Amino acid sequence: MANKAQFSILAYQRRPGFWRAAISRKDGAVLTMNGVALKSFVTSEDFPSEDEAYTDAEKAIRLI
Please state the pTM of the whole predicted model. 0.82
pLDDT at position 58 is: 94
pLDDT at 28 over 90: no
Give me the count of residues in the chain.
Answer: 64
Integer distance in angstroms from the first to the last C-alpha of the chain?
6
Q: β-strands 40-42, 31-33: how paired?
A: unpaired
Strand runs labelled E in 1-64 = 7-15, 18-25, 31-33, 36-38, 40-42
Residue 3 has pLDDT above 90, yes or no: no
What is the pLDDT at residue 32?
Answer: 82
Q: Look at residue 1 and tell me whether its pLDDT is greater than 90.
A: no
Residue 57 has pLDDT above 80, yes or no: yes
CA neighbor of 19 nearest in space, from 50, 62, 59, 61: 50
